[in-house]
Amino acid sequence: NAGVTQTPKFQVLKTGQSMTLQCAQDMNHNSMYWYRQDPGMGLRLIYYSASEGTTDKGEVPNGYNVSRLNKREFSLRLESAAPSQTSVYFCASSEKEREFTGELFFGEGSRLTVL
């Protein structure tokens, strides 16, 4: 089982360029998330998808768009990258079972640098 797979692992962009971060999970989870991690800021939720066909904004959605392509895949797009979007991006998934206690399964991250 691969779990949550993110691509690419590293990317360097110039200001104004666009790109899409891809995420796929093989655990048949309904919910998927995109977080960004910055030093001293912890993990901040960008967007999430509670189930296939739905997406909702998190804490820091500005400058991003998402697509829940199907149950397995959830992509994050930067239409016009800015240096402030330099970060490590994590995709996660979860299944809210009866005794859910907040277990999200994270990918290994995508490190993005915007020059």
Partner 1 sequence: QQQVKQSPQSLIVQKGGISIINCAYENTAFDYFPWYQQFPGKGPALLIAIRPDVSEKKEGRFTISFNKSAKQFSLHIMDSQPGDSATYFCAAPEGTGANNLFFGTGTRLTVIP
SS3 call for 78: strand
User: Which region among 10-18, 54-62, 64-72, 74-82 touches partner 1 (by CB under 8 A)?
Assistant: 54-62
| Shortest Å, Cβ 4 to partner 1 | 8
Cα distances (angstroms) measured from residue 22 to each of 56, 89, 99, 100: 18, 11, 30, 26
Backbone angles phi, psi at 113, to 5 degrees: -120, 130
Rule CB under 8 A: say whether 61 interacts with partner 1: no
Rule CB under 8 A: say whether 40 interacts with partner 1: yes
User: Which region among 16-24, 62-70, 71-79, 97-105 touches partner 1 (by CB under 8 A)?
Assistant: 97-105
